[in-house]
Amino acid sequence: MSNKQQVAVLGGGSFGTAIANIVAANGHQTFLWMRDQENAARCQQSRENERYLPGVRLTEGLEVTADLQRAAAATDLVFVSIPSHSFRSVARQLRPYLKSDAMVVSTAKGIEPEGFTLMSDILLQELPEHDIGVLSGPNFAKEIVAMQHTGSVIASESERVCHAVQQILRSETFRVYANTDRGGVELGGALKNIYAIICGMAAAMGAGKNTQAMLLTRSLAEMGRFAGEMGANPMTFLGLAGVGDLILTCTSDLSRNYRVGYQLGQGEPLDAVVSGLGQVAEGVNTLHQVKQKADELGVYMPLVSGLYSILFERRAVADVVRELMLGEQSNDVEYRGA
């Protein structure tokens, strides 16, 4: 692989813009594709993505375009930063333009409802001849562009993908670790959004640090249990894409999912909270999908069930909390390693 690559980032939201800015700052020829021609022209001209990352200057050399063919045609690596609800349709649009050895990496943290499909599995289905991967970790877009020191994970069975992503993104403020457990890394990123809603809700209701610590720890246990049933390596949850992203998202109001929970905890109705956000919060849909899958597989997920019953079955928070606290006594650590 030569030093300088051609890279496309699909999705002009906050995360796509942040990733494109890093890649361009590393001197790679970089395209940021967004669907709306007018927005693309405005961003390209003003050198700012005013709607999603206001006040952040786009790196010189980064080309913003609404022309997918132009963005993708000669590209070595494509990052797909499209929310899960539209991920497949964009992957499908991309297919005719990719050169045969192009690699494709998802950065989305959600699950497609049909068949409980992970984004990287959508890539395998839609782009079967390409090497694929997943980028995930404790990575607020706003902090990345503010040059906060950040760690992330590239997960792929392909060494070529891991190596390329590590080389293309590495900088003094952005460090990428590799993992072969693609499913585990991807589930970590999707599942933590559910627990961020719970933690935001608890914070709004005055929860103290004891409660926060218990919630975080039991969330991690629940995530690992579910992911283990899905074939992931529970040890992945001790890494950046597991406990790392869980801590980040569950403790900060920079998280949209945490903010959704916080507003719910203040008594606002779910529909109003979600429509007022103006950005994607994947956790609400993920909750539906994980609850259904956990029921199907018989996985014990009391926090997921509790949140689901509050949001969709109109159960009172106090009743759910009481039930969780007085439930059958159980053990602290259930996973004891290989």
Ligand X SMILES: O=C(CO)COP(=O)(O)O
Query: Contact positions toward ligand X, by CB under 6 A?
Result: 109, 138-140, 193, 196, 245, 248-249, 255-257, 281
90 marked as part of a ligand binding site: no
Select from ligand NDP, ligand X, none the partner in contact with residue 108, using the beta carbon and a kind-dependent cut-off of 5 to 8 Å.
Answer: ligand NDP
- Chosen from ligand X, ligand NDP, none, partner binding at 196 (C-beta under 5 to 8 Å by type): ligand X
Interacting residue ranges for ligand NDP, rule: CB under 6 A: 11-16, 34-36, 52, 81-84, 86, 89-90, 107-110, 139-141, 279-280, 282
Spatial neighbors of 253 by CB under 8 A, at least 6 apart, are: 200, 259, 262
Q: Which of 4, 99, 142, 192 is catalytic?
A: 192
Residues contacting 303, CB < 8 A, separation 6+: 194, 195, 198, 215, 218, 219, 222, 324
Full DSSP string of 160-223: HHHHHHHHHH--SSEEEEEES-HHHHHHHHHHHHHHHHHHHHHHHTT--HHHHHHHHHHHHHHH
Taking the chain, what is the end-to-end CA distance rounded to the nearest angstrom?
Answer: 36
How far apart are CB 141 and ligand X at their closest, in Å?
7
Told to judge if 99 belongs to the known catalytic residues of this protein, a careful annotator would answer no
Report the partner that residue 13 touches, choosing among ligand X, ligand NDP, none (CB closer than 5 to 8 A by kind). ligand NDP
Q: Which is nearer to ligand NDP, 43 or 202 (CB)?
A: 43
Taking the complex as a whole, how short is the minimal distance between the CB of residue 52 and ligand X, in angstroms? 12
- Which of 155, 157, 175, 158 shows the shortest CA–CA distance to 166? 175
Closer Cβ to ligand X, 121 or 245, answer by number: 245
Those residues with Cβ within 8 angstroms of residue 300's Cβ, 6 or more apart along the chain or in another chain: 222, 225, 294
**Alpha-carbon torsion angle 321, 326, 330, 335, nearest 10:** 0
User: Which residue, 10 or 71, is less far from ligand X as judged by CB?
Assistant: 10
Binding site for NADPH, by residue number, is 14-15, 35, 52, 109, 141, 256, 280, 282
Binding site for sn-glycerol 3-phosphate, by residue number, is 109, 137, 192, 245, 255-257
